[in-house]
């Protein structure tokens, strides 16, 4: 399996420099979503003192023609800081800064879905929408060969790998552990992790509960941290919804959703009402649940391998082959949350959480999102 050349550089030599004092100055790494709607970019600037709030962070700019976001003749774009996290690579007092992207005319970049999501969340803040997203990903070599797979051929069939233990069942645990600790240090709301059903290298990390816009912020930063951790190990994290064709599970981003009413006594009534609304708007959600308007998910949502059929809506208690799953404990306690199993691993969490709020809480019914003033 191929690994990156940079992973073979001496980390001990690098650490000599990382241990040098930096005085009162701080390195702030600005992070943004590029023009693909999936890729992340970053660059670092020096600040004279440690920022305590977002307001302490200056706007910045970058060359959008190199990130699929503008033409070379008018390429300057703006980075607007929105969320700040501790930096687990450079450590305190250095920061990671998640940014929105604006065009030269201060209008939203096409892949900047955060601002509208934040507006929609603000409209329902009294209902306290909570989200928990289960991010699946696949580890690959730099040659795109699945990490841990034989050089020629395939490993044994699925079965022993889910939550597996042992050198012949769990590959890449070092990456999982490093990423978990990096998330905790950064302040990302990570709540657990496990190896998934597909042989050897599909992992799942769970985030939340986060309220409102925080879900998208925390998931994007978690993805950034995963990519950076994988850099150090010389391998690649893929969020492709079906990285390996054939009789193998795909990768999703199952999204758990609840409101204050759903979490209180008798909340099952509100869960069922939301599911009825989702059933009437299935195709709208399919388009919102992957960055290619459903084309990526079409490879994954086949009705097999613990997925529903992309063309049909379904719901059930403890049914992992349904569009919407009600956990058995929720059915017994008559309150809690439901799980939307349709979002793809490469979804934009801002689009997914916004769509759920629009349908379930704002009662939208049309195939296009309502434009609010």
The structure's pTM equals 0.94
> Which of 3.40.50.300, 3.30.590.10, 3.40.190.10, 4.10.490.10 is the CATH number of 120-362?
3.30.590.10
**Backbone phi, psi, residue 55, to 5°:** -65, -20
The predicted pLDDT at position 170 comes to 73
CA distance 245 to 252: 15
Tens-digit pLDDT string for the chain (373 aa):
688 998 899 999 999 999 999 999 999 999 999 999 999 999 999 999 999 999 999 999 999 999 999 987 889 999 999 999 999 999 999 999 999 999 999 999 999 999 999 999 999 999 999 999 999 999 999 998 888 777 777 766 666 777 778 877 777 889 999 999 999 999 999 998 876 545 445 667 888 799 999 999 999 999 999 999 999 999 999 999 998 888 778 899 999 999 999 999 999 999 999 999 999 999 999 999 999 999 999 999 999 878 999 999 999 998 888 999 999 999 999 999 999 999 999 999 999 999 999 999 999 999 999 999 8
CA-closest candidate to residue 251, choices 316, 307, 192 = 307
Domain residue spans in the chain? Answer: 25-111, 120-362
The predicted pLDDT at position 106 comes to 95
The predicted pLDDT at position 202 comes to 62
> Which of 3.10.310.70, 3.40.640.10, 3.10.20.70, 3.40.630.20 is the CATH number of 25-111?
3.10.20.70
- A 10 A CB-CB count for 182 gives 22
CA distance 74 to 164: 51
The predicted pLDDT at position 201 comes to 53
The predicted pLDDT at position 1 comes to 64
CA-closest candidate to residue 205, choices 64, 60, 12, 349 = 349
The predicted pLDDT at position 159 comes to 67
Report whether 324 contacts 278 (CB < 8 A). yes
């Amino acid at each position: 399996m191929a690994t990156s050349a940079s992973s073979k550089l001496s980390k001990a030599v690098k650490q000599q420099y990382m241990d040098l004092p930096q005085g009162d100055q701080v390195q702030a790494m600005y992070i943004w979503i590029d023009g693909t709607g999936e890729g992340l970019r970053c660059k670092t600037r020096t600040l004279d003192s440690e920022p305590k709030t977002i307001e302490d962070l200056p706007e910045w700019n970058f060359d959008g023609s190199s990130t699929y976001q503008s033409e070379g003749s008018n390429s300057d774009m703006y980075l607007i800081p929105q969320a700040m996290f501790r930096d687990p690579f450079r450590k305190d007092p250095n920061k990671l800064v998640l940014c929105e992207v604006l065009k030269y005319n201060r209008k939203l970049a096409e892949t900047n879905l955060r601002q509208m999501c934040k507006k929609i969340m603000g409209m329902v803040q009294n209902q306290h929408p909570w989200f928990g997203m289960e991010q699946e990903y696949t580890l690959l070599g730099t040659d795109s060969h699945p990490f841990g797979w034989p050089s020629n051929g395939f490993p044994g069939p699925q079965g022993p790998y889910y939550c597996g233990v042992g050198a012949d069942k769990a590959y890449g645990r070092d990456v999982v552990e490093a990423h978990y600790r990096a998330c905790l240090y950064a302040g990302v709301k990570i709540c657990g992790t496990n190896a998934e059903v597909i042989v050897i290298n599909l992992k799942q990390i769970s985030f939340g509960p986060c309220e409102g816009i925080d879900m998208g912020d925390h998931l994007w930063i978690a993805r950034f941290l995963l990519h950076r951790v994988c850099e150090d190990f010389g391998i690649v994290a893929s969020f492709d919804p079906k990285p390996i064709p054939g009789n193998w599970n795909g990768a999703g981003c199952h999204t758990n959703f609840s409101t204050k009413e759903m979490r209180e006594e008798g909340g099952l009534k509100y869960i069922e009402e939301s599911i009825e609304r989702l059933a009437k708007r299935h195709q709208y959600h399919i388009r919102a649940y992957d960055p290619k308007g459903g084309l990526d998910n079409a490879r994954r949502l086949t009705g097999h391998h613990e997925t529903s059929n992309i063309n049909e809506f379904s719901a059930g208690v403890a049914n992992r082959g349904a569009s919407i799953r009600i956990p058995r404990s929720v059915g017994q306690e008559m309150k809690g949350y439901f799980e939307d199993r349709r979002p793809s691993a490469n979804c934009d969490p801002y689009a997914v959480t916004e769509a759920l709020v629009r349908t379930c809480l704002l009662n939208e019914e049309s195939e296009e999102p309502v434009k609010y003033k």
